[in-house]
Amino acid sequence: MRPEILRLCAFGAYAAEQEFDLAALGPHRLFLIHGPTGAGKTTLLDAICFALFGESSGEERRANDLRSHHASGATETFVELDFALGERRYRIRRTPAQSVTGSRGKPVQRTPQVTLWQRGTDGTLAVLAEKTTPVADRITELLGYQADEFRQVVLLPQGRFRELLTAAPDDRQKILATLFRTALYKRIQAGFAEMEAKAKAAASEARTQRETLLAEARAETPEAAAANAASHVAALDEATRQAASAAALAQLAAAALAEGRRGAERLTAAAEAAAALAAREAEAPAMATQRAQLDAARRAQGLAGEEATLRATRDAAQEAASRAQTAQDAAEKARARRAAAMRALGDEAARATALDAATRQQHELEDLRIRAASLGESARLAREADGTLARATAARDAARAAQEAARARADSAAIARQEAAMLAAQLEPRRAAMTQAAQQAQDAAALTGAEAARLAAQQALARAEAGAAMASAALEQASAARAAADATAWAAAAGELALQLRDGEACAVCGSTHHPHPATTATPQGEDRVVVARREEAARAAHLKASTQLTRAQGELQSATTRRDDLARRLSDPLPEGAVAATETAFRAAEGAATRLPALDAALAQAEAARLAAEAELTAREVARAAAQEAATIAAAAHATRLESVPPEARDEAALAASLATAQARLTTLASALERDRKEEAAAGAALQAAEAAAIAATTGAGAAQAALEAGKARMHAACEAAGFATLAAYAEARLAPAEMEALAARIEDFQLKLELARAAAARAARDIEGLAAPDLAALESAASAAQEAARAATVLEGEARERATQSLGLAQRIQESDAAFATARARHALLDNLARQTRGQNPRRLDLEGFVLASLLDEALAAANAHLHRMMAGRYHLARREDPGRANAAIGLDIEVFDEHTGQSRPAGTLSGGEGFCAALSLALGLAETVQAHAGARPVDTLLIDEGFGSLDEEALDKAMEVLSGLQGGSRLVGIISHVAELKTRIPARLEVTPGLRGSSARFVVG
């Protein structure tokens, strides 16, 4: 980060608005902020820190107290900073909470405001963030560090690092903890303690669970539980064998019972076949009679021709006798006819009167016929109206049924549509439920991965801890070797100096001329001091690397544990089994309902239209039936009226027509009967003569035919005797129709076939039961039932044994798992107990984790500081950390001492003179700033502002310090020094002169 332009108003010592454009420095990268005490030099650092972070550069000044007391009430306090990060430019403007005088002279409270922009190459501004938290997050993202780190790596506060150099170890621990923010390691240390407590509780719980399971198994050890399980498995095997044996015996008994039942069935079948044969043989006499009847019928069939001749002769005789009788009857009729004709001609007057009466009757019947004809028409119309009414009623009933069906379909469509709508309304809630269930399923899968990552991070931490322990041991060994080499070297140097001592001459080291105990010359032994020093530096670097890896592993474990815990909390209420599929099924049902809803709406509309059409059709049919009912009523009334005008006896058209026809015929008969009777009398006389002649001839022919019949009967009798029939009656009794003869022959043949089949079946059954004894089915059934019951009992025992074996095996498996879990929990507790004890200081160095980290970071900072101090002090002084094993807290090893190359001795840093102390403090400040930056992971620091007094330095020390500071401004790095020392004005050509005034301070850049 490199500041470019700072604008401020009503801030600190500056009442008016001022702008500080660092472009005025030109090529100079080292500049001095100079002015008298209290002029407002440090205020400029406060302004930069306030603009970026909303805080001052020193903890003793609060941000809300930075408003200038010189500013008028209407002037608003603000700070605006243009700064660069690499090639990118930014601007930030911040105003604190303040009270300003409004336009009406009343105070107005202003809330804090802050805005961050990115500046384009054309000067345009693009807002990146507004408001406190978003801007703070974005600034931290851009710079790579927060306010505390910024004050450590960019701003070197006044007097802070001199205090650090000379502070007591406990105070130094607090300062370093603040600088390096090692509270994390305290939390890690507490976390190890918490993890150890949880691991201890988990191990205790695992032990309790193991003991509970062993008690449940009634075993002392997992091996004993496994042995119990094995015994139950052996018992199960025995029970299984016995169950199989019982099942086999049950199968044998069942097979014997089945065989006995088959034997009984064979005996029964043989008895039934014998009975059937006896029944057939009992029918044989009747069949013999039917066979004799068939033989007689066949003999009678041979006389059929003779019988036909006799029948024809008899028919001829009967016909001749009939003709003779007919002729005689005709003659008698002719005589009667002539007598009747004679009688008819005897009463002509009576017959004329009857003719007049017949004429009147004809006229009356004709009138009745006309009226009866109209009655038929009205009856036809009434019948047609009744038919129309019946058809209208049937149509009405059909329309009503159709209307009910349409209403039912409409109701069904409405119900289906309502159900689909209700389902569709649940679409989004069910989608959310499905998404939540899927997310929980993903979290469950992620939890497994997170747990694996946590275990991997735990293993990595264990490896890092082992590496750190090894590196610590190696460093201790190298430091011991370094100390031994230093002692050997100093002893050799003392011997060399002692060789140069002369009595009465001053010692080159202490200046004394008295040498009571000169050192003896010592021969250097062991490795070279430089080699040992390099090995110590290498061990120190390896130790620092291992510490860094340990810190990284601890952070990764904490991150993995946090993620695992977050996922576990999100899964604190897990879904039941199958919930994902159930929510998806419910969502698919709702989705399907939503998809079907338009079609169901259309179907409902169609069904409603059909219902309305059916109701309209029913209404039309009911109207038509009412009209038909009315027409039928009118037609029935008209027919009743006409029916009253016709007598009941004349209402039958056919009878009336017959009566009319009879009357007409009688009239005609009466009219012509007289003429006919006259003619009849003449014809009857002639007919009588002819009939009498024919009767004589017919009587003669009948006598001849009777003689022929008697001759035919004699021939037939002789033929019957020849065929074995004693009489014609016996012949007639033996005769059968061809169909009867055919049926009788079929019965006889069927009987014979069935008799042969019965004989064969009886013979087969007899052969089938030869040597077969009747089985004792009751005994076989009892044996089979007993065997089946024994098999069921054995199966029950097997099931009980299986259940015991399953439970025993499951319990043994759970005991094994519990034993393994207990071993794992015990090992984890041992590991975490060791880590907790090591991190809280129960180790050979008696350092807790924070003390170890602080000591390592201080070593790194001292190494960087010594590089600067070597240049400032010509290599005379070397800052080092001293450990005191007698102390039992985190401050062990945080003492800083100074090794003086001139004396070869180490002494406390507080013994340095003012100038020496300043150089050492400045070197330590620079070293600490570099170390903090390296461990903060920030961007390269392009600016360094030092608020420290240089008045205590002599001219040579000031030259060295300026040389070091000048070296820091290499490249684009900007180095600013805040001081009131006037001599610095001649050494630093570029400066910002701060001038105090009664109305506030002002400042301007001076170059040259």
pLDDT, average across residues 489-518: 63
Name the DSSP class of 527.
Answer: S
512 versus 190: which is more confidently predicted? Answer: 190
Classify strands 905-908 and 98-101 as parallel, antiparallel or unpaired: unpaired
pLDDT at 51: 94
CA–CA–CA angle 959, 962, 967 (5° rounding) = 125
pLDDT tens, residue by residue, 49-67:
999 999 887 655 666 678 8
Q: Which of 289-293, 799-803, 929-933 has the lowest mean pLDDT?
A: 929-933
Q: How far apart are CA 339 and CA 40, in angstroms?
A: 185
> Which strand ranges, in their side-by-side order, compose the sheet holding 895-900?
877-882, 895-900, 905-908
Q: Which of 110-124, 339-353, 716-730, 852-866 has the lowest mean pLDDT?
A: 339-353
pLDDT at 157 over 70: no
The beta strands (E) that lie in 631-719 are given as none
Radius of gyration of the chain from its Cα atoms, rounded to whole angstroms: 71
pLDDT tens, residue by residue, 235-248:
988 988 998 898 88
pLDDT tens, residue by residue, 260-318:
888 888 888 888 888 888 888 888 888 888 888 788 887 877 777 777 787 788 888 88
- pLDDT range class, residue 888, cuts 50, 70, 90: very low
Q: How far apart are CA 855 and CA 185, in angstroms?
A: 13
Ranked by mean pLDDT, the top range of 439-448, 571-580, 778-787, 982-991 is: 778-787
Which amino acid does the sequence have at 969? Q
pLDDT, average across residues 771-778: 83
Could you give the percent of the chain with pLDDT greater than 90?
Answer: 10
CA–CA–CA angle 674, 675, 678 (5° rounding) = 85
Average pLDDT, the chain: 80
pLDDT at 899 over 70: yes
- pLDDT range class, residue 890, cuts 50, 70, 90: very low
- pLDDT range class, residue 431, cuts 50, 70, 90: confident
Burial string for 691-723 (b: 16+ CB within 10 Å, else e) reads: bbebbeebbeebeebeeebeebeeebeebbeeb
Q: How far apart are CA 731 and CA 715, in angstroms?
A: 14
- pLDDT range class, residue 499, cuts 50, 70, 90: low
Residue 144, beta-bridge partner list: none
pLDDT at 156: 66
- pLDDT range class, residue 521, cuts 50, 70, 90: low
Any residues with CB less than 8 A from the CB of 649 and at least 6 apart, and which? Answer: 655
Q: How far apart are CA 677 and CA 873, in angstroms?
A: 193
Ranked by mean pLDDT, the top range of 445-454, 621-630, 709-718, 927-936 is: 621-630
pLDDT at 317: 81
On the CB side of 521, CA atoms within 13 Å amount to: 5
3-state secondary structure of 73: coil
Any residues with CB less than 8 A from the CB of 510 and at least 6 apart, and which? Answer: none
pLDDT, average across residues 21-47: 87
pLDDT, average across residues 118-124: 91
pLDDT at 446: 78
Residue 115, beta-bridge partner list: 93, 130
pLDDT tens, residue by residue, 343-388:
766 665 566 667 677 777 777 667 766 666 666 777 788 888 888 8
Phi and psi torsions of 769, nearest 5°: -105, 10
- Asked if 260 and 784 count as a contact pair (C-beta separation under 8 A), the reply is no
pLDDT at 878: 92
pLDDT at 375: 66
3-state secondary structure of 239: helix
pLDDT at 606 over 60: yes
Place of tokens 């009975």: 275
Q: Which of 289-293, 502-506, 523-527, 595-599 has the lowest mean pLDDT?
A: 523-527
pLDDT at 513: 65
Any residues with CB less than 8 A from the CB of 907 and at least 6 apart, and which? Answer: 897, 898, 900
Dihedral angle, C-alpha 754, 757, 761, 767, nearest 10 °: 140
Could you give the percent of the chain with pLDDT greater than 70?
Answer: 84
- pLDDT range class, residue 938, cuts 50, 70, 90: very low
The helix (run of H) or strand (run of E) holding residue 202 is helix 183-217
Q: How far apart are CA 919 and CA 889, in angstroms?
A: 30
364 versus 811: which is more confidently predicted? Answer: 811
590 versus 153: which is more confidently predicted? Answer: 590
- Asked if 489 and 529 count as a contact pair (C-beta separation under 8 A), the reply is yes
216 versus 7: which is more confidently predicted? Answer: 7
- pLDDT range class, residue 682, cuts 50, 70, 90: confident
- Asked if 5 and 81 count as a contact pair (C-beta separation under 8 A), the reply is yes
Q: Is the dihedral of CA 270, 276, 282, 285 positive or negative?
A: negative
970 versus 645: which is more confidently predicted? Answer: 645
Any residues with CB less than 8 A from the CB of 517 and at least 6 apart, and which? Answer: none
pLDDT at 972: 63
pLDDT at 595 over 80: yes
Q: Which of 6-20, 378-392, 457-471 has the lowest mean pLDDT?
A: 457-471
